Amino acid sequence: MQIESTSSRRRFLKGTLTAAAAIGFPIIVPARVFGRSAPNDMIQVAQMGCGRIARDSEFRGILRNSDVARYVAVCDLDTVRIADAKNLLEQAYAKKFGTGKYAALKTYGDYREMLQDKSIDAVCISTPDHWHAQPAMEAALAGKDIYLQKPASLTIKEGRQMADTMKQTGRIFQQGSQQRSDYNFRYACELVRNGRIGKVQQVLIGLPVDPSGDVEPEMPVPPNLNYEMWLGSTPLVYYTEKRVHPQAANLQDRYDRPGWLRCEQFGAGMITGWGAHHIDTAHWAMDTEYTGPVEIVASAEFPKKGLWDVHGPFHVRARYANGANVYISEKYPTGVKFIGEDGWI
């Protein structure tokens, strides 16, 4: 009976996710909708990566749905961040349910150990870009459902491997495309899809760029950081704080924007950072989500010195089978502009 119930629960969740537009927080479905035969009354969630994005997005989303889903474990390669996450979440649960009315969160320094816990139903992955695809695949193979921050992967190859793994395992997977929940973007896409500006001719996407910064000195690895594992499958490079994330004593400064976002070894810069949102919006509006462009021509300037080496000024032209051209550059206002035969949005 448990196997049958679990299968029904998974089919229900999968259908729910397929029908809904992707939102900024993990979609949580109350166990009560499955009746008394539900596998458990609470969705057990584990957090992988406890940095800035997890604190701003995933923590808030799961806590907001604490009547149906509960954090039971947190994992990070920085022990300070583990302690901060455990403290934040347990204080929130104590305030909501009362002291002693919830189980203390388990903590892990290695996500592979955490994935062995069979009581965990789902994982939220909020790690740097180069640690997206691998843990997502391992989570699926361990029988967990996944909420993964964008972009999906650091390379096209590992993104394809991850998609294939999700299909093979049948796990529920949700990408963190929270811009789809924003009324302005959703409404604009609805108008474009319904032909309110006529046939789309051009789409202008504006994305910011990051500065190259200075050459940074080699520094001792902090005792609280597992830097070797943090590098993952990328080449070995010396540790310096601005290559990873802040090690500030002040809590607010500790979760400031991390430097790895501007290192090509770990991410591709704003073209995938915010581009994952804006380009997705363009595809959503043009109904080209499963096809994409038929031709791309692009150029960019890259820093010649300094620690941070992601793209500087750039220009992309992508041509689509429907005849539209999508232009992407830092020269356009940040956002998405659709230009059709009968007007623009």
Give pLDDT tens digits for 233-283.
Answer: 999 999 999 999 999 999 999 999 999 999 999 999 999 999 999 999 999
- pLDDT at position 29 is 57
- Whether the per-residue pLDDT at 205 is higher than 80: the answer is yes
Q: What distance in Å separates the CA atoms of residue 94 and residue 101, rounded to the nearest whole number?
A: 7
Question: Could you give the C-alpha distances from 277 to 8, 177, 207, 236, in angstroms and in order?
Answer: 32, 6, 10, 31
pLDDT band at 25 (very low <50, low <70, confident <90, very high): low
DSSP string of 76-105, one letter each residue = -SBHHHHHHHHHHHHHHHHHHH-TTSSPPP
Nearest to 136 by CA among 298, 186, 154, 313: 154
pTM to 2 decimal places: 0.85
pLDDT in tens, 89-108: 999 999 998 887 777 999 99
Q: Give CA–CA dist 222/112, Å, rounded.
A: 22
Identify the weakest region by mean pLDDT among 13-22, 131-140, 227-236, 336-345: 13-22
Confidence at 13, pLDDT banded by 50, 70, 90: very low
Domain 182-210+269-344 top-level CATH class: alpha beta
* Structural domain boundaries in the chain: 2-179, 182-210+269-344
Q: What fold does the segment set 2-179 form as a domain?
A: Rossmann fold (3.40.50)
2-179 and 182-210+269-344 in the same fold: no
**3-state secondary structure at position 56:** helix
| Residue 19, pLDDT above cutoff 80 | no
